[in-house]
Amino acid sequence: MITWKQKYHGVLVLLPLSLALFYSWFASGTLETLDKVRRLERDLTRMEGISSGLAATRTEMERLEKIIQRNEMNDTLDILFSHLIDYCARHGVLLRDYSPVHVVTRQNYSCYTRVITLDGGFQELLYLIDHVENEWENQLQSVSFEVIPARGKLPVCLRLKLYVQFISW
C-alpha cells in the first residue's frame, strides 16, 4: 500500500511533469499567439502614426507646391516686367499701367492674368508685341490697340494693352 509520504513525493514529481506537458500542449500556443497579437497591435499603432504623418506630409507638400507655383508665376511676370522696362527705355515707349495680377482658380489649375498698358508709336508697339511673343511663348494671350486723340500740345498717341497669362497646374 502507498503511504502518504510516497503519495506526497509522487505528487511533487508528477506535478512539474504535468505542468510541463500542459504548457507544451496548451499554454505555449496561447502565449505565443498572445505575444504575436501584442506585436501586431504595436506595429498597427506605429503604422497609424506613420499614415497620419504621411497625410500631414502630403498636405504640407501640396501647400508648398502651390507656394512654389505662385512664386514661379510672380518670378515669370516680374522678369517680363523688367524686360518691358528695358524695351520701353530703349525704344521710347511709355509704360502707362502695370495692373496687379488677377487670379482665377479652378479645381485643377490657376490662371494668373495681368494687363499691361503702354503708349507709343505703332512700329515700336508692334516690335514690342513681336518681342514678347518670341521671348515669352504662350503667355501673351491678347492685344488691343486704341488711338488716343491729340490734347493740347500732346500729339495723337497709340495705346496698347497686353493681356499676359500664366497657367499653373
pLDDT at 72 over 90: no
pLDDT digits (tens, 9 = 90+) for 20-29: 777 777 766 7
Residue 50 lies in a domain: no
Count CA within 13 A, CB hemisphere, residue 29. 5
Q: Are 149 and 105 in contact (CB under 8 A)?
A: no
Residue 48 lies in a domain: no
Q: Are 72 and 167 in contact (CB under 8 A)?
A: no
Residue 125 lies in a domain: yes
Domain span including residue 79: 69-168
Residue 64 lies in a domain: no
| Residue 132 belongs to domain with CATH number | 3.30.70.60
Mean pLDDT confidence for 54-68? 77
Angle at 25 between CA 19 and CA 27, to 5 degrees: 70
Residue 99 lies in a domain: yes
Residue 53 lies in a domain: no
pLDDT at 145 (0 to 100): 93
Alpha-carbon dihedral 130, 157, 101, 75, rounded to 10 degrees: 40
Q: What is the pTM of this model?
A: 0.55
Residue 25 lies in a domain: no
Q: How many structural domains are present in the chain?
A: 1
Residue 92 lies in a domain: yes
The torsion region of residue 111 among left (phi > 0), alpha (psi -120 to 50) and beta comes to beta
pLDDT at 159 (0 to 100): 93
pLDDT at 32 over 80: no
The rounded distance, in Å, linking the Cα atoms of 137 and 83 is 14
